[in-house]
Amino acid sequence: MNVMNTALYSGAQCTLIPKYDDRGIWDILLDEEDGVDLTLFMAVPSIYNRLIAHYENHNMDERSAEI
């Protein structure tokens, strides 16, 4: 709550994702066409581990330049 409340208090826009999906998170992080520019992504360490594992296991090298 501290991270979200601090962001909201400072005038930021928070996007909450209702259901975790590895590919869906990568799509949100890398998508620049929807007009939303993400500047910060907050998660617990296990989420970061899952995102890294998805990246390594699904041959996302072609998107490396975007990251």
Q: What is the pLDDT of residues 25-41, one digit of tens each?
A: 888 887 756 666 777 88
**This model's pTM is above 0.85:** no
Rounded CA separation 41/25 (Å): 10
Banded model confidence at residue 17, pLDDT cuts 50, 70, 90: confident
The maximal CA–CA distance of the chain, rounded, in angstroms, is 39
Is the pLDDT at 66 greater than 70? The verdict is no
What confidence score (pLDDT) does residue 37 get?
72
